[in-house]
Structure 1
Amino acid sequence: MNNRADSFDATLSGQVDAQGFAFVEGDRMRSLLIAEGELTDWAAFVDSWNHLELDEYLAAKGRFRRRRHATFSAAADGPVVPQPHQAHFQSLQYNTLQGDIQRWFEPVDASVVNGATLRTILRFCHGFFGKLATPAIRWHIEVHQFRIEATADSAGEPTPEGSHRDGVDYVLVLLVDRKNIASGTTTIHSPDGKLLGDFTLTHALDAALIDDHRVYHGVTPVIPLSAGEPAFRDVLVVTFRAVAELPG
């Protein structure tokens, strides 16, 4: 990293260490990312959100969420490596709406998995979360592309499970795009429900960095500003969970 990015990184690490979360404005996040790699395929990265599949597991609550999912792994001092496609699983302890089931989503497109932007984001997360953590032997990493859609008749719910933890160690929530929507405010709570902070991701690369052990997070429903026009919120969520090395 350059000196400016090093300073940003140290300040953010201190914020997450002190309060369990940090909000990062897009310009600042861009500086941190380009210190780690390139964003040369950003336009194609953004466009890939136009090709997500409906989240059929939410059919009972509405058809407002589209998503794709990918899994990676990394040693503490090694590269981030894609893993074979697999189910996303959360226990009921962390997801009372859809816990204790294996949820299979369409995979993130190979061009995104292998593209410069996602690799740079993952490289940043690996370094940043690795500095915060008790040394991990290996990371289990999951990547989620989400599009939350809103209509005049139905608000989009970015977190239909409510304020929650993900059951991991660390979380990055990165805004990719938003169009014709109001609200979508991220709220951070202590385990006893006390509001610790709130902010709205409004510009590309606005981000939240979260220590999942210490705080809960949620997002308020989004509603369209102009009825009859497309209205959506596109985010990338990256989670890091420390796992033990397999024997042998």
Structure 2
Amino acid sequence: MARSSRPLNDTPATTKTSKAQDWRGELLRDGHTFLRATQLQPLLEAQGSLGDWYAFAASWGDMPVDTYMADGGRYRRRRHAVFAISADGRIERQPHQPHYQSRDYNTLNGGVERWFEPVQESIGASSSLHAILRFCSAVFGALAPQVKSWHVETHQFRIEARADMQGLPTPEGMHRDGVDYVLVLLVRRHNIASGTTTIHAPDGSSLGSFTLTHAFDATLIDDARVFHGVTAVEPLDAAQPAHRDVLVVTFRRQ
């Protein structure tokens, strides 16, 4: 990265070494895997420059409120963009369009076309985002080599919390997204407690839990096989702003 190899974060990423996990095999076997920042960041850098990461991460500070929340909440800010990615890795941003989920997948906010403000052009074209998209294309393409083209949606989420208002990263509860594969990548968390990701089998049994703590911590999910959710977040210091910024990327075969 241009300014520092350390992720942008409230606290430094851990320097402790741990036994490397076979995360690709874990994703194939279990339908999900958790990648720590120290694992994922080099994988992204192998796909392209992260030299504009600081500008990329800073763009979460300019996000409109999600006005489609059926629970009346105003704790979520969001931007959205759609890309087409071919099997050979060609990335093309598509005309702005609504995000749609049926109520089978989103019982709270599904069943309507939701027109979110678009991801800024400079962010959609950034080398950091394209490195992330190429990484996802390589991983998910290897799992489904027969797919020639992917419909890809990117969602910038900021979940805010106050002393009188918890933030709900997944207000619809434990869910699937109705796609093939999902990446959830932490960009930053500031003054936030909790936000634990939980993974469940279709029968409701727990398959694991973890907390995205540092920038570049991420989970990869086979959406057809597992359900996922995230616990509510709340401020550590009620007198200070508190938010959790993530990028969600979904891949659906066309």
Q: Scaled by the length of structure 2, what TM-score is found? A: 0.90
State the partner residue of 1:172. Answer: 183
1:15 maps onto 2:26 in alignment:
yes
| More strand by percentage | 1
What RMSD over aligned residues (CA atoms) do the two structures have, in Å?
A: 1.5
Correspondence for 1:238 = 249
Match of residue 45, structure 1, among 48, 53, 56: 56
Aligned counterpart in structure 1 of residue 210 of structure 2, from 179, 185, 199: 199
Partners of 1:240 and 1:109 in 2: CA distance: 20
Aligned position for 1:83: 94
Query: Aligned to 1:219, which of 215, 221, 230?
Result: 230
Partner residue in 2 for 1:67: 78
Tell whether 2:158 aligns with 1:147: yes
Specify the alignment match of 1:5 in structure 2.
Answer: none
Partners of 1:61 and 1:27 in 2: how far apart?
Answer: 38
- Where in structure 1 do 4 or more consecutive aligned residues deviate above 6 Å? none
Matched ranges for 1:91-110 at <5 A: 91-110=102-121
2:98, 2:187 → 1: CA distance?
A: 24
Once residues 145 and 209 of structure 2 are traced to their aligned partners in structure 1, the CA distance between those partners, rounded to angstroms, is 27
Unaligned runs of 5+ in 1: 1-7, 244-248
Q: Kindly tell me: are residues 9 and 225 of structure 1, through their superposed partners in 2, closer, same or farther at Cα, counting changes over 3 Å?
A: closer
Q: What are structure 2's unaligned runs of at least 5 residues?
A: 1-18
CA distance, structure 2, for counterparts of residue 223 and residue 135 of structure 1 = 43
TM (norm. structure 1) is 0.93
Q: 1:136 to 1:9 in 2, by over 3 A?
A: farther
CA–CA separation in structure 2 for the residues paired with 1:152 and 1:59: 22
Matched residues, number: 236
Q: CA deviation at 1:44?
A: 0.3
Post-superposition offset of 1:9: 11
Q: Contact (CA 8 Å) 1:173, 1:236: kept in 2 or not?
A: yes
- Residue 30 of structure 1 deviates from its aligned partner by 0.3
The one-letter amino acid of 1:15's match is E
Which is further off, 56-65 or 189-198?
56-65
Offset of residue 135 of structure 1: 1.4
Cα offset for 1:201? 0.2
Q: 1:104 to 1:69 in 2, by over 3 A?
A: same
Deviation at 1:98, TM superposition (A): 1.2
Task: State the percentage of identical aligned residues.
Answer: 58
Alpha-carbon contact 1:64-1:149 (below 8 Å) kept: yes
Rounded Cα–Cα distance in structure 2 between residues aligned with 1:56 and 1:9:
42
Kindly indicate whether the alpha-carbon contact (under 8 Å) linking 2:166 and 2:232 is maintained by their aligned counterparts in 1.
yes
* Equivalent-residue separation in structure 2 for 1:186 and 1:10 (angstroms): 19
Q: Distance in 1 between matches of 2:114 and 2:128?
A: 26
Task: Please name the residue that 2:139 is paired with.
Answer: 128
